[in-house]
C-alpha cells in the first residue's frame, strides 16, 4: 500500500493542512486509492476508512467537518464534527474552533484553503467554475472576517484542479465570464473551432487577489493529466468510466496544550 500524498502550500506554513491525492487508500477498481466521495458508487466502508486516514494524515485526533457540495457560493460556520447524514448544503466552511478539520472534496474543481493565523480563523472552499464565478471565495473571506479575521492577514492556497491545457469549454461558457467582467477574457485561450481552454486556477487566484489577499499560492497540479495521482470527473467522462472518486483538501487548528 502506498503512503498518502499530502501536498502543502508555502503560504500556509504553520497551519495544519494538506491537499491530498488519491494514493494511500483502501478503495479498489475505478475508485482505487483514497476515495472520500460519499456520493460515489464506492464501498461505503472503504470511503469511511479513507476519510479517517485522510484526517489522521493532516491533524490526528481532529473532528472532520464537510458539507454537501452543490456548486453554490454558500458558506457555513462550524464548531464541531459534522455527521455525514447532517451535512449542510454549502460549498465552503469556516471555523475558529481548535481540533475541527475542515474538508473540501474535489475531482477537477479548485479546492481553496484559507488561514488568518493571528486571529485563529480558517476556511475551506470548493471553487468549481460556477461557485468561483458566483463568489464563493469572496463569501468565505467575508465569513472569516465576521469571526475576527483581517483580510490583509488572510493567506490562501489553491490546490490540485484541472489545468487550462486540460479544460476545454465552449463559447457560451467563455461569454458568461466575459459578461461578468470583460477582463476575464485573459483566462481563456483559443482552442479548436468554437472552443477555448479555461484557466480555472488563474481565475480563482485573481478573485483572491482582487478580494484583498496579499498572499496566495497556486500549486499548479493538474488533476486531469495525472491519473495515478488524482481523481478527475472530466477524465473519467472522457474515458467512458461509470464513476469517479474524489480527493479531499483539509485544514484545521491544532488543540493547544
Residue 231, strand partner residues: none
Contact between 45 and 193 under an 8 Å Cβ cutoff? The reply is: no
CB atoms near residue 215 (< 10 Å): 17
What sections of the chain are H helices per DSSP?
A: 44-58, 129-134, 136-146, 171-180, 200-210, 233-239
> Among positive and negative, which fits the CA dihedral 21, 23, 28, 34?
negative
**pTM of the model as a whole:** 0.97
Per-residue pLDDT at 2: 62
C-alpha cell at 40: 460515489
Per-residue pLDDT at 1: 43
Q: pLDDT for 195-211, tens place per residue?
A: 999 999 999 999 999 99
Per-residue pLDDT at 245: 96
C-alpha cell at 190: 483559443
Sequence-distant (≥ 6) Cβ neighbours of residue 235 within 8 angstroms: 223, 224, 227, 244
Contact between 66 and 99 under an 8 Å Cβ cutoff? The reply is: no
Domains (ranges, CATH) in the chain?
A: 6-163+216-252 (3.60.140.10)
Per-residue pLDDT at 39: 87
Per-residue pLDDT at 256: 77
Sequence-distant (≥ 6) Cβ neighbours of residue 66 within 8 angstroms: 82, 84, 87, 93, 102, 103, 104, 105, 248
C-alpha cell at 215: 498572499
Backbone angles phi, psi at 12, to 5 degrees: -115, 20
Residues in the chain where the model's pLDDT stays below 70: 1-2, 257
Sequence-distant (≥ 6) Cβ neighbours of residue 33 within 8 angstroms: 21, 22, 23, 24, 25, 27, 231, 245
The residue length of the chain stands at 257
From the list 202, 207, 201, 124, the residue with the least C-alpha distance to 161 is 201
Residue 20, strand partner residues: 6
Sheet harboring 168-170: ordered strands across? 168-170, 195-198, 188-190
Amino acid at each position: 500500500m502506498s503512503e498518502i500524498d499530502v501536498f502543502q502550500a508555502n503560504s500556509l506554513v504553520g497551519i495544519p493542512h494538506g491537499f491530498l491525492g488519491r494514493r494511500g487508500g483502501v478503495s479498489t477498481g475505478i475508485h482505487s486509492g483514497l476515495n472520500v466521495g460519499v456520493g460515489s458508487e464506492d464501498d461505503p466502508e472503504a470511503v469511511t476508512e479513507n476519510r479517517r486516514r485522510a484526517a489522521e494524515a493532516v491533524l490526528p485526533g481532529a473532528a472532520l467537518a464537510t458539507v454537501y457540495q452543490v456548486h453554490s457560493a454558500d458558506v457555513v460556520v462550524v464548531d464541531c464534527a459534522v455527521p455525514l447524514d447532517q451535512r449542510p448544503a454549502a460549498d465552503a466552511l469556516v471555523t475558529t474552533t481548535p481540533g475541527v478539520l475542515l474538508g473540501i472534496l474535489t475531482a477537477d474543481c479548485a479546492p481553496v484553503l484559507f488561514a488568518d493565523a493571528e486571529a485563529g480563523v480558517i476556511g475551506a472552499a470548493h471553487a468549481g467554475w460556477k461557485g468561483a464565478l458566483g463568489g464563493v471565495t469572496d463569501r468565505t473571506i467575508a465569513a472569516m472576517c465576521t469571526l475576527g479575521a483581517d483580510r490583509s492577514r488572510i493567506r490562501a492556497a489553491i490546490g490540485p484542479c484541472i489545468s487550462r491545457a486540460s479544460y476545454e469549454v465552449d463559447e457560451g461558457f467563455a461569454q458568461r465570464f466575459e459578461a461578468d467582467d470583460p477582463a476575464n477574457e485573459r483566462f481563456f485561450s483559443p482552442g479548436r473551432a468554437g472552443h477555448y481552454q479555461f484557466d480555472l486556477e488563474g481565475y480563482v487566484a485573481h478573485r483572491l487577489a482582487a478580494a484583498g489577499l496579499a498572499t496566495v499560492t497556486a500549486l499548479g497540479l493538474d488533476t486531469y493529466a495525472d491519473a495515478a495521482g488524482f481523481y478527475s470527473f472530466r477524465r473519467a467522462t472522457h474515458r467512458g468510466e461509470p464513476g469517479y472518486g474524489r480527493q479531499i483538501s483539509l485544514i484545521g487548528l491544532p488543540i493547544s496544550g
